[in-house]
């Protein structure tokens, strides 16, 4: 849980005179605030700040985030992830008693692909427990600022890098969660895919199977699994293909068609993209990937 320190509700900014462009990521600011001021209002479209990333997590009360034309209430246990500058607007509303939050801003340098992937997988709003490893990492950075133990760019960079990787791990952990921890419609859909992976499975088929609209099902599946239905189907097919490459003498063309691909060329293209080598090289053991079972994560 985030450790509240009396009298330590502050914001801390960091600048390193030796430069930070050689770091994969770098700390810009961290803070813990309680806002009751109607003027707390940040419009990302008008900010002139250097390009950076913001993670802001609500501890109590609530705030508002407007993004993609929709206003979201950010309640306790919810964080939002945005880029600065950017097409968003977050603010305190006097409809609420207060907004208590902790936040972190950082220069992404070479880490933007992972940050973009986080936003793609979880959207701009992430629900997370206060005792999660993500919030513990954030607390560690905040305490480091309070206690003045962040003394150089290397410490600062390593702390933020660990935080982003913990966010990434937490979001992706849903992909490996036991079935009982997923919503019942998603469990049903996963079992359907694993049974009929070799057939032409359409989004409409899956949505009909679980009695949800296509839009609602696709969104719930992606949120619960960390992959879109189409991505998950490809994942299952390639894992089945790996088993056949290891255990049979069937041709690559036969294997591709047997796991649901329309032709061998498309199968090889997807296999190479997901595994990093061709089916032929995998089967011949000419790449390190070909040992034992391969699970795509």
Residue that terminates a domain, selected from 176, 209, 230: 176
Q: Is residue 296 part of a domain?
A: no
Q: Answer yes or no: do 217 and 279 share one domain.
A: yes
Domain harbouring 45, CATH code: 2.60.120.280
79 in Cβ contact with 129 (< 8 Å):
no
Instruction: Reply yes or no on whether the pLDDT at 114 is more than 80.
Output: no
Q: What is the pLDDT of residues 15-30, one digit of tens each?
A: 887 665 677 888 999 9
Q: Tally the domains of the chain.
A: 2
Position 292 scores a pLDDT of 46
Clarify whether residues 22 and 96 are in a common domain: yes
Measure the CA–CA gap between 201 and 233, rounded to whole angstroms.
8
Non-local (6+) Cβ contacts of 158 within 8 A are none
48 compared with 295, residue with greater pLDDT: 48
Between 203-210 and 229-247, two packed helices, what is the crossing angle to 10 degrees?
110
**Do 35 and 112 lie in a common domain?**
yes
E strands within 108-259? Answer: 125-127
Q: What is the pLDDT of residues 246-267, one digit of tens each?
A: 888 999 999 999 999 999 899 9
Single out the residue in 159, 176, 193 at which a domain terminates: 176
Contact 106, 52 (CB under 8 A): yes
Task: Say how far apart CA 239 and CA 107 lie, in whole Å.
Answer: 37
Per residue in 142-158, pLDDT tens? 999 999 999 998 999 99
**Is residue 2 a part of any domain in this protein?**
no
Higher pLDDT pick, 119 / 107: 107
Place of tokens 């080598």: 277
Q: Give the mean pLDDT of the chain.
A: 85
Instruction: Answer with the one of 176, 202, 225 that is the final residue of a domain.
Output: 176
Q: Which range of residues forms the domain containing residue 205?
A: 181-290
């Amino acid at each position: 849980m985030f450790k509240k320190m009396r009298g330590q509700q502050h914001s801390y900014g960091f600048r390193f005179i030796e430069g930070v462009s050689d770091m994969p990521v770098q700390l810009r600011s961290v803070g813990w605030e309680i806002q009751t001021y109607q003027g707390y209002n940040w419009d990302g479209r008008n900010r002139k700040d250097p390009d950076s990333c913001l993670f802001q997590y609500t501890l109590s009360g609530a705030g508002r985030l407007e993004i993609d034309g929709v206003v979201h209430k950010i309640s306790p246990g919810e964080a939002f992830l945005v880029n600065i500058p950017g097409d968003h607007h977050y603010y305190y509303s006097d409809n609420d008693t207060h907004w208590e939050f902790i936040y972190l801003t950082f220069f992404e340098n070479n880490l933007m692909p992972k940050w973009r992937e986080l936003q793609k997988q979880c959207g701009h709003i992430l629900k997370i427990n206060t005792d999660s490893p993500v919030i513990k990492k954030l607390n560690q950075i905040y305490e480091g600022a309070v206690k003045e133990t962040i003394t150089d760019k290397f410490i600062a960079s390593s702390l933020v890098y660990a935080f982003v990787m913990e966010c990434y791990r937490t979001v992706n952990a849903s992909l490996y969660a036991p079935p009982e921890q997923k919503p019942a419609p998603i469990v049903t859909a996963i079992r359907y895919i694993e049974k009929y992976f070799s057939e032409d499975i359409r989004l409409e088929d899956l949505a009909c199977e679980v009695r949800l609209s296509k839009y609602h099902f696709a969104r719930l599946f992606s949120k619960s699994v960390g992959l879109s239905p189409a991505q998950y189907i490809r994942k299952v097919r390639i894992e089945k293909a790996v088993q056949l490459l290891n255990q049979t003498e069937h041709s690559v063309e036969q294997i591709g068609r047997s796991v649901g691909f329309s032709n061998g060329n498309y199968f090889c293209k997807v296999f190479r993209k997901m595994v990093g080598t061709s089916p032929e090289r995998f089967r011949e053991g000419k790449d390190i990937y070909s040992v034992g079972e391969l699970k795509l994560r």
